[in-house]
Amino acid sequence: MGLFLKGITLPKRLSAPSLSLIELAAPEKVILPLRQYVGEPSEAIVAVGDSVKTGQLIADASDTHRLPVHATISGTVTEITAHSDPRGLHVESICIESDGTDTWLTPPEAQQPPPDTDNMVTRIHAAGLIAQGPFSTPLAYDLVPVDQPKTYLYRDGTNVVQKIDTLLINCLDAEPSLGVNRYLASTHNDTLEQGIAALKAITGATRVVFAVDKHFSPWPQLNEIVQNDEEEATCITALNGRRFPTGLPIPLVKAALSREVPLPYGHPRDVGVALYDLHTVIAVGTSTTSSAPQTTTMITLGGGALKQQGIATVRLGTTIGSLIDSLGGTTDAAKIICGGPMTGMAQYDRDTPITKEVTGLFALTDTEIQLSGEYRECINCGMCVKVCPVNLLPGILSLYCAKDKFDLAEAEGLFSCIECGACDYVCPSRRPLVHLFRHAKHQLME
Amino acid sequence: MEHRNYIVSMSPHVRGGQSIETMMSTFIIGLIPTALAAIYFFGIRSLIIMVLSMATAVIVEALIETLTHQKRTFRDCHALLIGLLFALILPSSVPWWIPVVGATVAIVLGKALFGGLGNYPFNPVLVAWVVLRLSWPERMSLFFEPHTTTQILTPLMAFKEDPSLFYSYNLSSLFLGQKPGLMGTVCNLAILIGALFILYRGVIRWHIPLSFFAGIACFAAVLRYINADVYPPVTFHLIGGGVFLAAFFLAPEPVTSPVTPTGMITFGFLAGILTMIIRMWGAFPDGSFYAILIMNSATPLFNYLKPKVYGRSYSA
């Protein structure tokens, strides 16, 4: 399985550098956007000048399109204003200046288990969890409960009833350069089993599949879970994690389960798969055993302009500038990327905060990005066709997009493009293919 | 601490793979064994032809780019490749001005007039070859016996005159190059070594060469089955003429060949069959160059043989 999946093998320098854990001190200032997911912003319930404690609710959510926001340090609210976020948008954000004590509203060790009357979806929502990945919706909204299947109407009129039968846990990362899930797969996590149990109970999935990177064995805890499963409905699928884009949701469902997500506009749940990162599953487990909200996130730190590289647990709202400085960042960083180097977003502002969506922070030097700004004409070599994981003809599509023939591009399957960037990576003419596709999609959607 | 302004652009933020320069130089490196074999069999004369052709190609491209105020791209090794490939499909007997005229025609008529690299519909090398073949037919079909300057007919020409002659060639001399022919086509072993290199480096894919051989082999096998007395064996067709060079270096030329796997296989197979038709019933002894040129014109059609877009059966 996965043998015939197309894509690229990234060189060693772009694979996860080291999976060592970096300890970080609590930041002096955090900026907490009121929207850290795809959806609507929530409403602030604190005012400028209020003092808050770690874990305190500072913005409330009225429905599942929004998520509650919690303070991640203790201190004083200094500002509530629009601020740049990692997506490059301006979002209303709460700034908190630290008082240096980091006092919790309720210390994590004193947290009571949530009352049994709450159902699990409510707990997941109250903890503020999101489904990490390209869709990044609030987790409570993303989950399809077994008793209320969602139906989804496609543009062509096909009606899809989403009924989950498989829980696919992504222990790879979206890109080989990222390493959080790989790191978690190789260690022991107290709440993983509770997380799996909760997700199985909510979605009604009968089978659990771990998609792991075969280069990062062993996985003691995962093996144990597979052995302890009396129904034998749990398995481990080892995939080549150096291959890109195996870790992205749509190719991963194909590689691990041989199911094709309908494209365009498809989602793994359309083919009965609940696909979550290991990181998310563990957070779900935590939210079922304790009522502590999510105040931190685990991200990969990499790039040649950082002295220290590895995995770190970061307080939400830490600005990327202060994070880079605390890791011994040098001034020769040419590009700061939230996410991985293949699919991440380039940042322009050192005050942009780390949000729940961020999976990695990369500070790349000039030599790493090889930016020339010049590109040649398509030489029709077919390298892009060879690597495209969804079988498009990227070169020909790019010609249509560059000449404003957007309708022709759409007929060729433009919207099936998952923007993985593999074609862009291999193009000998250095054509900005993904840029052209995004431009065309944007023009067509208007 | 002072920080520079960060660069903002669309993902991906890293690049890999090949550039046009590395692709073209890989092709040139792949042709080095063939060029050495040509020098071994036909002497220093062939080296002079190659140097003249390559120098002309680069100078003409540089001149055109200067005169038309285009971006200077003559250093990208593509003109060099055109010059070398063109020299290799000449007989060693040609006078000095043939490579000069041919390389000029290849760059001007074959490449620059259509808008440069990426836009020409026909392989520039073959365009130049056809122009010269039709303009000076007697100079383009005068072959020397290897290591001498004795005039002799190539195996395929001899076969055209008298079908029973093919038994006078032994297979190892046909494969290793001890035979008259175009400079770059005599030593199939050298071509194969270079071809394995470019296949390994990924600048061409296996589809076109293999299906090209398959097309020739199938057609030749059918003919052989019909009448073994008149038609030569399959191996004679595969190694007797310019098929190896055509299959590995001329047919898979990136710009003028299809990009989809099915398209490439069909392209190669039909080019192989067309080669055989021209050899058997056409006016020319070796049809592979003409066959590729004709198939080039249909390349956009072969690109319609697309793979199924992922997940499309569901929604369309």
**Which residue has tokens 């489904």?**
A131
A145 and A102 fall within a common domain? no
Partner-chain contact B7 A370, CB within 8 Å: no
Q: Which residue in chain A is spatially nearest to B260 when comparing CA positions?
A: A385
CB A270 within 8 A of CB A152: yes
- In contact, B109 and B82? CB cutoff 8 Å: no
Residue with tokens 């940042």: A347
Based on the domain organization, do A145 and A271 belong to the same domain? yes
- Residue ranges of B 69-88 with Cβ closer than 8 A to chain A: 73
Contact (CB, 8 A) for A161 and A149: yes
Instruction: Report the distance separating Cα A29 and Cα A83, nearest Å.
Output: 14
Residue A55 CA, distance from chain mean position: 23
| Ranges A100-109, A310-319, B143-152, B160-169, most confident | A310-319
Give the pLDDT confidence of B205-246 residue by residue, as tens digits: 999 999 999 999 999 999 999 988 788 888 888 988 889 999
Q: Tally the domains of chain A.
A: 3
- Residue A187's alpha-carbon distances to A180, A194, A306, in angstroms, are 11, 16, 25
Do A285 and A300 share a domain, yes or no? no
Q: What are residue A30's phi and psi, to 5 degrees?
A: -125, 150
In this prediction, residues B71-88 reach a mean pLDDT of: 92
Rounded mean pLDDT of chain A? 86
Has residue A7 been placed in a domain? no
Chain A residues close to B307, C-beta within 8 Å: 391
Question: At what angle are helices B97-105 and B78-88 packed, to 10 degrees?
Answer: 130
Q: What is the pLDDT of residue B315?
A: 39
Greater confidence (B129 vs A146) lies with B129
- Out of A266, A289, A312, pick the residue that ends a domain: A289
The neighbouring-strand residues paired with A72 are none
A-interface mutation test, from B1, B11, B27, most A Cβ less than 10 A away: B11
Cβ within 8 Å of residue A336, ≥6 positions away: A320, A324, A346, A347, A350, A361, A362, A363, A364, B6
Q: What does the pLDDT read at residue A16? A: 66
Which residue in A123, A27, A41 sits closest to A71, CA to CA?
A27
What is the number of other CB atoms lying within 10 angstroms of the CB of residue A366?
Answer: 14
Looking at the structure, do residues A142 and A103 belong to the same domain, yes or no? no
Burial of B192 (0-12, 13-18, 19+ CB in 10 A): middle
Q: Which pLDDT score is estimated for B121? A: 94
Q: Of the candidates A243, A266, A289, which is a domain's last residue?
A: A289
Handedness of CA A76, A78, A80, A84 (dihedral sign): negative
Could you tell me whether strands A207-213 and A234-239 are parallel, antiparallel, or unpaired per DSSP bridges?
Answer: parallel
- Region of B17 on the Ramachandran plot (φ > 0 left; ψ -120 to 50 alpha; else beta): left
Residue B316 Cα, gap to closest chain A Cα (Å): 7
Predicted confidence band of residue A117 (pLDDT cuts 50, 70, 90): low
Q: Encode pLDDT of B287-305 as tens digits.
A: 899 999 999 999 999 999 9
A135 & A224 share domain: yes
Residue A425 with chain B: CB contacts under 8 Å: 12, 14-17
Considering only the beta carbons, identify the residue of A263, A424, A427 that sits closest to B310.
Answer: A263
In a domain, A116, yes or no: no
Per residue in A12-71, pLDDT tens?
777 765 678 888 888 899 999 998 888 888 988 998 988 999 888 898 887 888 899 999
pLDDT reading at B309 higher than 80: yes
Q: Which of B73, B308, B310, B314 to mutate to test the interface with A (most CBs of A within 10 A)?
A: B310
B251 touches A: beta carbon within 8 Å: no
CB hemisphere CA count around A163 (13 angstroms): 4
Structure-derived torsion over alpha carbons of residues B279, B284, B286, B287, reported in degrees to the nearest 10? -70
Q: Which domain holds residue A248?
A: 121-289
From the list B3, B12, B17, which residue is nearest A350 (CB)? B3
Q: Do B18 and A263 touch (CB under 8 A)?
A: no
Do A91 and A187 lie in a common domain? no
Chain A residue numbers with beta carbons less than 8 Å from the beta carbon of B27 are none
Between chain A and chain B, the number of residue pairs with CB atoms below 8 A apart is 189
β-bridge mates for residue A198, sequence order: none
- Bridge partners, residue B52, by sequence: none
Same domain? For A154 and A257 the reply is: yes
Residue B263 has pLDDT above 90, yes or no: yes
pLDDT at B114: 93
Say what the pLDDT of residue A118 is.
Answer: 63
One domain, residues A107 and A127: no
Q: For the purposes of burial, counting CB atoms within 10 Å of the CB of A371, is it exposed (0-12), middle (13-18) or buried (19 or more)?
A: middle
CB nearest to B311's CB, from A263, A385, A435: A263
Spell out the residues 6+ positions from residue A280 whose beta carbon is closer than 8 angstroms to its own.
A129, A130, A131, A132, A139
Tell whether A263 and A408 lie within a shared domain: no
Nearest Cα of chain B lies from the Cα of A251 at a distance, in angstroms, of 9
Distance between CA B316 and CA B79 in Å, rounded?
A: 45
- Report chain B residues whose CB lies below 8 A from the CB of A371: 7, 9
- Asked whether the beta carbons of B309 and A261 are under 8 A apart, the reply is no
Q: Do B306 and B286 form a contact (C-beta atoms < 8 A)?
A: no
Do residues A235 and A308 both lie within one domain?
no
Average pLDDT for B1-12: 78
Q: Please indicate, yes or no, whether residues A137 and A210 belong to a single structural domain of this protein.
A: yes
Confidence of residue A304 (pLDDT cuts 50, 70, 90): confident
Contacts of A158 in chain B (CB under 8 A): 314-315
- What CATH number is given to the structural domain containing A245? 3.40.50.11540
* Residue in chain B lying closest to A339 (CA): B11
Residue that finishes a domain, picked among A262, A289, A316: A289
Please indicate, yes or no, if residue A15 is contained in any of the structural domains: no
Look up the pTM and report it: 0.89
Same domain (yes/no): A153, A254: yes
Residue at A69: amino acid letter: V
Residue A20 lies in a domain: no
User: Residue A17 domain-assigned?
Assistant: no
Farthest CA pair distance, chain B: 87
